[in-house]
Amino acid sequence: MTELQNLSEALVKSVETAGASTVRVEARRRLPATGVVWSAEGLVVTADHVVRRDEDIYVGLPGGAKVAAALVGRDPTTDLALLKAETQDLTPPAWAGDEALRVGSLVIAAGRPYHDMQATLGMIYTLGGSWRTPAGGRIDRYIQTDVTMYPGFSGGPLIDAAGQIIGLNTSGLLRDASLAIPVATLKRITAALLEHGHVKRGYLGVGMQPVRLPEALAKTLEQEAGLLLVSVEPGSPADTGGLLIGDIIVAFGGEPVEHMDDLLMLLGGDQAGHETAVRIVRGGELKEVMITVGAR
């Protein structure tokens, strides 16, 4: 066989391997989408934006059978949803580690919006670090590919050359970008959905915008910016803790805060219910207030 034939055969085997763990998700009025088996006991992870209803959900299995499924939980901020199919005989996939991710690596985006598998070939276009989605969710790794996201592919697997799954494809996080949600994020969000049905996040109840600090204050704090409070919700944790419109948050829990993402990263679900020191600038003077973080 030629090298091209060998490559073609390897790609076919990769799709077949991942196909045993790829299911159809019927949870919206029109075209079904795709999901990936999370556990043999019926758990299926998929993209949240393709789950348009909470009831009358069905999962199409690789063998052709169709079973009912229930929504375990969802996190719109990371575009992930977890379903529980009425079956105990699913095949979990092999998940690839982070070391498998390299720019230029060949990858396959697969989907099962109908009975049979569909697939398209591409490569990892760019990789980045942890990032925050427009809805505020944290994705552990930025993975963008040049694969074509055909209708119904969202929620399906991104497969490496060995047939391992390196992420969950979605077109619902950023417009005009083929992104994959990495395995680390899948594990973290799925664990939260199994425990709570949602992802806990800290909540202050403020509206903010970045603002540059006066030069003298910037030198004192060794940072150039902070977050100006433009609104404070009545009865919110911020209101109860004494924060006022016009205050500038410069640190939270001892960590400097200059941008919105800085504060969002610090407002994890483990902060909810805990009293935290918030350093602010009020009337040109540095002050510290204690805020009991709420849960959204």
Are β-strands 225-232 and 248-252 bridged in parallel, bridged antiparallel, or unpaired?
antiparallel
3-state DSSP percent of the chain in helix, strand and coil, to 5: 20, 40, 40
Please answer whether residues 249 and 223 qualify as being in contact, where contact means their C-beta atoms are separated by less than 8 angstroms.
Answer: no
How many residues are given for the chain? 296
Please answer whether residues 81 and 49 qualify as being in contact, where contact means their C-beta atoms are separated by less than 8 angstroms.
Answer: no
One-character DSSP codes across 261-278: HHHHHH-BGGGTT-EEEE
Specify the residue for token string 């159809």. Answer: 24
- Amino acid at residue number 137: G
Q: Give, for 181, the enclosing helix (H) or strand (E).
A: strand 178-182
The CA distance from 37 to 45, in Å, is 6
Q: Which residues are catalytic?
A: 49, 79, 154
The CA distance from 172 to 261, in Å, is 20
Specify the residue for token string 């959204």. Answer: 296
Please answer whether residues 263 and 226 qualify as being in contact, where contact means their C-beta atoms are separated by less than 8 angstroms.
Answer: no
The CA distance from 199 to 218, in Å, is 35
Q: What are phi and psi of 14, to 5 degrees?
A: -65, -45
Specify the 3-state DSSP secondary structure of 69.
Answer: strand
What tokens appear for 89 in the block? 């005989």
What tokens appear for 247 in the block? 């205050």
- Amino acid at residue number 204: L
